[in-house]
């Protein structure tokens, strides 16, 4: 039986449980309505949950356990010399058996041994499936019967149901946390393998980034040095340029929108600005590479500066424009949330509009503004496409915005794009970069939270 059919049956059973739970509660209520502790709905929900949760758990457990159990049963049925094969070869044999059983094409002509094992595999699979159906449905019905017996006028069904939903919500939030932990662990694991080959201090403090490692011994230009300083410097440079564009422009448009513009004008400007955030980054990349970069180069030529056609400046400026809405929209919301009574208080003391904004509104909105700026920073650090297209791939260690630089995310992409072996230093370096990037953004967030908390203590 297909798993979805089984789940459908379980849902029907749960619906049935809900109905009889209600009925039973109502029958008690009809006798002594005032004595019913919970609404009939909760009695129904209680039964439905008792049907669904244990059987779903049983199905999940069964699905996890059946693979290894069937596998070990098949292996124990094989010839002793097949069993003596190395783990890799054995998994190949098992693969063949599964393929034969499911009618796919195996890697070679099945031997009688494999054919027999495949036959056995299909039988075991069928048996397991049947067992799962019987067990889960049986469990569902048993629980239904048992829980039905518990229903009485005094039974606290609401409290039980609410507790179950609390647990479900806790599980939901735990999944997000566990995923994060999983990501960190996988990063850590791969980065660890990288640091076994390249010393940590070479990576963190090396000034040379050239990740091409030699495939053949006689290859040239494949020195394979992994000093991450140039690419972190490139990231920093581009982020700083982007923030130099985004923070003043975004903040000033936010101030205009929240303090000066009429409601109608604000209703037009704000969505228009937010369109900027909706433009795909590839389009920004085109814009940076084809319009802004040549423009800067031309400007540089007229004033006698040597601007490369792929410059940090072009990428940074376009990125800054891209993140303006992050700064402006959030800051505008925060400033709008500053109570009007504070502005009135300031006006009543004879303060002008600009004095009020600078000395009352902005300080009160500061935690939110800092949050908006840091969100924009993390967006800038994580941005890849614009930099790939407009700033180049060359890992120059420079503070000159007119030269080509590269960023961490761009390097991760170039390290992993294409056919790569996943155990070379080159590909593993991507995980190390990712790990460091993760720690940078993490510390940025912690730092931001501390700033926000500090000012909140001061200003709320």
Partner 1 sequence: MADGERFNMEAAEAKVLVRDVNVFYGEKQALFDIDLDIGRNQVTSLIGPSGCGKSTFLRCMNRMNDVIDGCRVEGSIKVDGDEVLDAGIDPVQLRRRVGMVFQKPNPFPKSIYDNVAYGPRIHGLVSSQDDLDELVQTSLERAALWEEVKDRLHQPGTGLSGGQQQRLCIARAVAVRPDVILMDEPCSALDPIATARVEELIEELKKAYSIVIVTHSMQQAARVSQRTAFFHLGVLVEVGVTEQIFTAPRDERTQGYITGRFG
Which residues of this protein are in contact with partner 1, per CB under 8 A? 262, 339, 341-352, 355, 359-360, 363-364, 457-460
**Least Cβ distance, residue 209 to partner 1 (angstroms):** 46
Kindly tell me which of 342 and 397 has the beta carbon lying closer to partner 1: 342
The nearer residue to partner 1, 347 or 402, going by C-beta atoms, is 347
Question: Of 22 and 343, which CB lies nearer to partner 1 in the complex structure?
Answer: 343
Nearer to partner 1, 363 or 382 (CB): 363
Burial class of residue 361 in the structure, from the number of CB atoms within 10 Å of its CB (0-12 exposed, 13-18 middle, 19+ buried): buried
Smallest distance, Å, CB 349 to partner 1?
4
Tell me how far, at minimum, the Cβ of 211 lies from partner 1, in Å.
Answer: 50
Beta carbon nearer to partner 1, 183 or 349: 349
> 137 or 360, CB closer to partner 1?
360
**Shortest CB 458 distance to partner 1, Å:** 6
Q: Quick one: 80 or 262, whose CB is closer to partner 1?
A: 262
State the SS3 of the chain: CCHHHHHHHHHHHHHHHHHHHHHHHHHHHHHCHHHCCCCHHHHHHHHHHHHHHHHHHHHHHHHHHHHHHHHHHHHHHCCHHHHCCCHHHHHHHHHHHHHHHHCCCCCCCCCHHHHHHHHHHHHHHHHHHHHHHHHHHHHHHHHHHHHHHHCCCCCCHHHHHHHHHHHHHHHHHHHHHHHHHHHHHHHHHHHHHHHHHCCHHHHHHCCCEEEEECCCCCCCCCEEEECCHHHHHHHHHHHHHHHHHHHHHHHHHHHHHHHHCCHHHHHHHHHHHHHHHHCCHHHHHHHHHHHHHHHHHHHHHHCCCCCCCCCHHHHHHHHHHHHHHHHHHHHHHHHHHCCHHHHHHHHHCCCCHHHHHHHHHHHHHHHHHHHHHHHHHHHHHHCCHHHHHHCCCCCCCCCCCCCCCCCHHHHHHHHHCCCCCCCCHHHHHHHHHHHHHHHHHHHHHHHHHHHHHHHHHHHC
Residue closer to partner 1 by CB (options 86, 341) is 341
Assess contact for 377 and 239: CB atoms under 8 A.
Answer: yes
Residue 279 half-sphere exposure toward CB, CA atoms < 13 A? 22
In the complex with partner 1, the residue whose CB is nearer, 104 or 344, is 344
Choose between 17 and 371: whose C-beta lies nearer to partner 1. 371
Distance of closest approach, residue 345 Cβ to partner 1, in angstroms: 4
CB atoms within 10 A of CB 321: 21
Q: Copy the structure tokens of residue 16.
A: 């049935």
CB of 253 to partner 1, least distance (A): 21
Nearest approach in angstroms of CB 452 to partner 1 is: 14
């Amino acid at each position: 039986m297909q798993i979805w059919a089984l789940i459908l049956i379980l849902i029907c059973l749960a619906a049935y449980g809900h109905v009889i739970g209600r009925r039973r509660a109502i029958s008690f209520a009809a006798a002594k309505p005032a004595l019913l502790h919970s609404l009939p709905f909760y009695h129904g929900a209680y039964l439905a949950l008792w049907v669904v949760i244990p059987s779903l758990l049983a199905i999940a457990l069964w699905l996890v356990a059946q693979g290894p159990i069937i596998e070990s049963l098949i292996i124990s049925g094989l010839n002793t010399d097949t069993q003596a094969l190395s783990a890799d070869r054995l998994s190949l044999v098992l693969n063949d058996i599964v393929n034969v059983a499911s009618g796919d094409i195996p890697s070679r002509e099945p031997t009688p041994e494999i054919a027999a094992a495949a036959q056995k595999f299909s039988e075991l699979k069928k048996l397991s499936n049947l067992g799962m159906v019987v067990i889960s449905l049986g469990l569902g019905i048993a629980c239904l019967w048992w829980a039905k017996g518990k229903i009485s006028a005094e039974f606290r069904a609401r409290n039980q149901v609410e507790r179950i939903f609390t647990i479900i919500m806790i599980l939901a939030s735990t999944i997000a946390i566990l995923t994060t932990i999983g990501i960190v662990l996988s990063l850590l694991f791969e980065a660890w393998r990288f640091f076994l080959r390249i010393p940590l201090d070479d990576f963190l403090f090396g000034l040379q980034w050239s990740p091409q490692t030699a495939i053949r011994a006689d290859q040239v230009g494949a020195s394979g040095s992994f000093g991450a300083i140039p690419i972190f410097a490139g990231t920093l440079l581009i982020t700083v340029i982007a923030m130099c564009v985004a923070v003043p422009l975004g903040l000033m448009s936010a101030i205009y929108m929240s303090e000066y513009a009429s409601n109608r004008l604000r209703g037009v400007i704000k969505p228009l600005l937010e369109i900027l955030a909706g433009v795909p980054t590839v389009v920004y990349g085109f814009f940076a590479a084809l319009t802004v970069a040549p423009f800067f180069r031309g400007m540089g030529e007229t004033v006698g500066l040597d601007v490369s056609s792929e410059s940090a400046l072009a990428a940074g400026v376009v990125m800054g424009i891209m993140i303006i809405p992050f700064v402006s929209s959030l800051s505008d919301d925060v400033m709008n949330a500053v109570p009007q009574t504070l502005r009135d208080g300031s006006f009543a003391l004879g303060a002008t509009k600009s004095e009020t904004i600078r000395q009352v509104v902005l300080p009160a909105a500061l935690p939110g503004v800092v949050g908006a700026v840091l969100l924009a920073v993390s967006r800038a650090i994580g941005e890849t496409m614009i930099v790939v297209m407009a700033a180049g791939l060359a890992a120059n260690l420079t503070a000159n915005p007119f030269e080509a630089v590269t960023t961490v995310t761009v390097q991760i992409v170039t390290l992993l794009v294409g056919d790569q072996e996943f155990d070379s230093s080159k590909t593993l370096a991507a995980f190390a970069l990712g790990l460091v990037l993760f720690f940078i953004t993490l510390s940025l967030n912690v730092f931001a939270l501390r700033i926000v908390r500090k000012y909140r203590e001061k200003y709320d």
